[in-house]
Chain A
Amino acid sequence: MTSSRGVGIRGAGDRSAGDRSAGDRGAGDPPVIRVEGLTKRYGRRTAVDDLSFTVRSGRVTGFFGPNGAGKTTALKAVVGLARPTAGGAFLRGTPVTAVRPDARLLGVHIEPCGAHPGRTGRAHLRSLAALAGLPRRRVGEVLELVGLEEAARRRVGKYSLGMRQRLGLAAALLGDPEILVLDEPVNGLDPQGIRWLRTLVRERAAHGGTVLLSSHMLGEAAQTVDDVVVIDRGRLVHAGAIRDLERSGESAVAVRTAEAGRLSALVAAAGGRTKAAGGGGLLVEGLDAAEVARLAHREGVLLEEIVERTASLEDAFFGLTGGADR
């Protein structure tokens, strides 16, 4: 697979310091996507309930939630495929219902890939290119980009899940759009494909593009995204930078020392808290490991063991969505 927009593939394909600064450039800009009070009901069932969040340019925003949280429904409303019961979505300040659908502005991949099983991958993309008024050569370009050139003449019904996913991504990338909205894009992709996708979305964000991608696996997608929106049962439970979510997890420092009482007093004086942990150990909260180590060294308390215990993003995600209890 090759890279889009003529940018070389970065080694890791993960979020780097350079990417973060690129993302931060968009921090003060007006949001590219603004969702306000979005509600979608199907009969008595409320799939999305009063959802509001924003997506900024130059950022990759992850849209997370457990299965059935309403992510796909919300994304369909964001791109204009579903009509909200109340509220709405805005693209660059214009209600999405008033935006002229254009492959150059908005590239969308929502599962399933939207290709007829009896049609070849190439024919599917050719029809979309014709509908979008794009040159036919774009079909070959995106097929190469997603690594489907050899399978392009096979019928979509014969494709594996990963190949259908790649075809859906190719369709989303046909117009080299400013905004990409991808629903569970890593589903069915092999590790190489996941890495390629990470690189692709990071590069697009680094070049000022906007990416909104959904997933039910926060830990996996965390390597790619700058901002997160977490929903549960159709409602917003968290929105912000992923760094804030990473920090929001309750981290603690596990310490073993023969002078537990004295260390507890020192920690309390330094603004931290301690809890007794099994085996004569202490769990220190409110100070990081370096601070605890410096404090112990300065006061001559011998530490036999010191370990920083950081809550994982999954822990934070389960804390937000109550997923661990399901």
Chain B
Amino acid sequence: MSRLLRGELIKAVTTRSVLGFALGGVAFAALNALAIAAWSGTLDEVPEKEEALSALPILLLLWGLVGTAGEYRHRTAAPAALVARRHRGVVLSARITAYALTGFLLGTLTTMVSVGLALPLLSDHPGPDLTSGDVGAVVAGNLVAFVLSAILGAALGALIRSPVLGVVVLLVVNFAVVPLLSGVWEAGVNLTPFGAAGVLSRMTHHTTLSVVSAGWVLAAWTVAVTLVAVLVERRRDLA
């Protein structure tokens, strides 16, 4: 597995996408920190302050999705499968793990930017300050959301196999289906991967779902989609 992971990591970090996603993540984290901590008025509650530290897990969902779907778009999955000495499901598992690891690094980078920018700004706001425990919990939640989102995105990419179609599906679900669901069944939104990731990263607060439960919901989605992707990968044609 280590050689497969090494090979997949080389693939994940040797295109310009990784740089694009790193810059995009950093830019969003900085904008989010400034928008909430500097430009949105008084923050006097802990959940409001925590929101300033949150990042954007959907970015990592896109990272995994675009990367893995690109393997089929550019036919790079076929040569990998032909040399791997393991069946395709194992190769895909290694690929997804590579996206989880790179997702963790990208998540760490963007979280460092969020925390580094937002914490000094938050100290000017009234109300209770964030304790180191609060900050640690937000950072941990962000990182878990990032890693799970990267895995979920990579698994979805293996199923959809087209980066463009994948991104369109993701945007439609996030900006059309989830808001529609919210109108019908508000609590149900938190049970979607987007809703759970929002709770986990503290972008959403004042919800009935706890942060830990949100982690379990996102993990359940991730495990289910990953299992389907690995099983399907073994049965589908490549190239």
What is the interface of chain A, defined by CB distance below 8 A to chain B?
A: 76, 79-83, 100-103, 106, 108, 110, 112, 114-120, 123-124, 126-133, 171, 174-175
Q: Is B80 within 8 A of A127, CB to CB? A: yes
Chain B residues contacting A101 (CB-CB under 8 Å) are 81-86
- Does B239 count as interface, using CB distance less than 8 angstroms? yes
Separation of A175 and B236 alpha carbons in the complex (Å): 25
A143 to chain B, nearest CB (A): 16
Show 28 residue pairs from A and B whose CB-CB distance is below 8 angstroms, ordered by the A residue: A76-B238, A79-B82, A81-B82, A82-B239, A83-B237, A100-B87, A101-B82, A101-B83, A103-B83, A108-B79, A110-B78, A114-B78, A114-B79, A116-B70, A116-B74, A116-B76, A117-B74, A119-B11, A123-B14, A127-B11, A128-B80, A128-B83, A131-B7, A131-B8, A131-B80, A132-B84, A133-B3, A171-B79
Chain B residues contacting A123 (CB-CB under 8 Å) are 10-11, 14
Identify the closest chain A residue to B94 (Cβ): A131
Q: Is A115 within 8 A of B15, CB to CB? A: no
Contact partner of A133 (CB less than 8 A), chosen from B15, B70, B85, B237, is B85
Chain B 87-136 residues near chain A, CB threshold 8 A: 87, 91
Q: Is B7 within 8 A of A128, CB to CB? A: yes
Chain A residues contacting B91 (CB-CB under 8 Å) are 131
What is the interface of chain B, defined by CB distance below 8 A to chain A?
A: 3-4, 6-8, 10-11, 14-17, 70, 74-76, 78-87, 91, 235-239
- Given A130-B10, A133-B85, the answer on whether A118 and B79 have CB atoms closer than 8 Å is no
Identify the closest chain B residue to A126 (Cβ): B10
Chain B residues contacting A129 (CB-CB under 8 Å) are 7
Shortest 4 CB-CB contacts between residues of A and residues of B: A131-B7, A130-B7, A132-B83, A123-B14
B7 to chain A, nearest CB (A): 3
Separation of A76 and B239 alpha carbons in the complex (Å): 8
Separation of A219 and B74 alpha carbons in the complex (Å): 32
Q: Is A82 within 8 A of B17, CB to CB? A: no
Chain B residues contacting A102 (CB-CB under 8 Å) are 83, 85
B207 to chain A, nearest CB (A): 40
A165 to chain B, nearest CB (A): 14
Identify the closest chain B residue to A40 (Cβ): B237
B72 to chain A, nearest CB (A): 11
Identify the closest chain A residue to B84 (Cβ): A131
